[in-house]
Amino acid sequence: MATHRSRCVFGADTNEIQSLSVLEGDSVCLISDLTKILDGDITWTFGAQNKSLLAKIKRKKQIFSTFDGPDGRFRDRLKLNNQTGSLTITNTRTEHTGVYQLQMLGAKLSTKTFNVSVYAHLPVPIINRDCSSSSSSCSLVCSVLNVSDATLSWYKGNSLLSSISVSDLSISLSLPLEVEYQDNNTYSCVINNPISNQTQHLDISKLCKPCAGSKIMLISFAAAGTLLIVAAVGIFCFCRKCRKTDREVPHRMGAQKWIKDKGNTWAITGPNLSQLITLK
């Protein structure tokens, strides 16, 4: 079960942007750096260009308000400190990634800017045998489903072998690897983003076994070979029997007289010449 945290960042007194990265479900507190609000007004906005009002404080009129923001994405998630003007976003989602700006209007206008990045929890990579490959080595594929702002990598020990990345779009990633069947090195597949990672270690002895399809093909080839051998033996025996029968024909004709000419033509004579039979 994921543990949700609360991460805070203090606004700078300069024009410098303060950045903070969190995981989905974490709370973000944006600190105004004030101990208390004087007589000025405070406003919080979300967005770099098309700014949406998130909260406002009008001290003299005792107005303390929060708003749902664009598409209602901040509904029931905002907590405004009425004393200091600090803003907390609870149970964050990736859609809460963006620029937050605090404006304090008193004797002079003061602005503090925060850049918040919210990352989704990463799944554990899955390693499968690729039985569609014709390679003589063990072909594997490591994959993850529906990730964004992440990099999928293969490691041999601590050395990076290959990697593939995705930015904002939520898509599936896959990365192939080929190893020898007797390879004793340590391999791992890692998915990571700027603040978290998940690792799956490769067990070569478990995954690098003959594919089911390969076993069926071997059995089929063996059966076909056996049938060919049986057929060849049958044909050989049949032909041998035929030759033996041809040789025995003259001796089964009784007391008749057999004559063989130079062209391997057999002739049989009976009581008279009209019974001459020629065999080839």
Does the pLDDT value for residue 238 go beyond 90? no
Asked if the model's pLDDT at residue 28 lies above 60, the reply is yes
* Average pLDDT, integer, range 107-120: 89
* Domain 6-119 class, CATH top level: mainly beta
pLDDT: is 242 or 58 the higher one?
58
Query: Looking at residue 31, what is its pLDDT?
Result: 93
Model pLDDT, residue 65: 95
- Which pLDDT score, from 0 to 100, does residue 125 have? 98
Give pLDDT, residue 60.
Answer: 82
Query: Between these two residues, 162 and 16, which has the higher pLDDT value?
Result: 162
Give the 3-state secondary structure of the chain: CCCCCEEEEECCCCCCEEEEEEECCCEEEEECCCCCCCCCEEEEEECCCCCEEEEEEECCCCEEEECCCHHHCCCCCEEECCCCCCEEECCCCHHHCEEEEEEEECCCEEEEEEEEEEECCCCCCEEEECCCCCCCCEEEEEEEEEECCEEEEEEECCEEEEEEEECCCCEEEEEEEEECCCCCCCEEEEEEECCEEEEEECCHHHHCCCCHHHHHHHHHHHHHHHHHHHHHHHHHHHHHHHHHHHHHHHHHCCCCEEEECCCCCEEEECCCHHHCEEEC
Mean of pLDDT values over 201-225: 65
Query: Which pLDDT score, from 0 to 100, does residue 244 have?
Result: 53
**CATH 2.60.40.10 domain range(s) in the chain:** 6-119, 126-207
pLDDT of residue 93: 95
pLDDT-derived band at 173, boundaries 50, 70, 90: very high
* Confidence band, pLDDT 50/70/90 cuts, at residue 33: confident
Please determine, for residue 261, whether its predicted confidence score (pLDDT) is greater than 90: no
221 against 62, higher pLDDT: 62
Percent of the chain with pLDDT over 90: 52
The stretch 8-12 carries a mean pLDDT of 83
For the chain, give the mean pLDDT. Answer: 81
When pLDDT is cut at 50, 70 and 90, the band that residue 109 belongs to is confident
Residue 14: predicted pLDDT:
64
Q: Is CATH 2.60.40.10 the classification given to domain 126-207?
A: yes
pLDDT above 50 (res 215): no
- pLDDT score recorded for residue 40: 78
Calculate mean pLDDT across residues 79-106: 93
Say which range, 29-43, 68-82, 199-213, has the weakest mean pLDDT: 29-43
What dihedral angle (degrees, nearest 10) is formed by the CA atoms of 264, 270, 275, 280? -20
What is the pLDDT confidence band of residue 274, given thresholds at 50, 70 and 90?
very low
pLDDT at 223 over 60: no
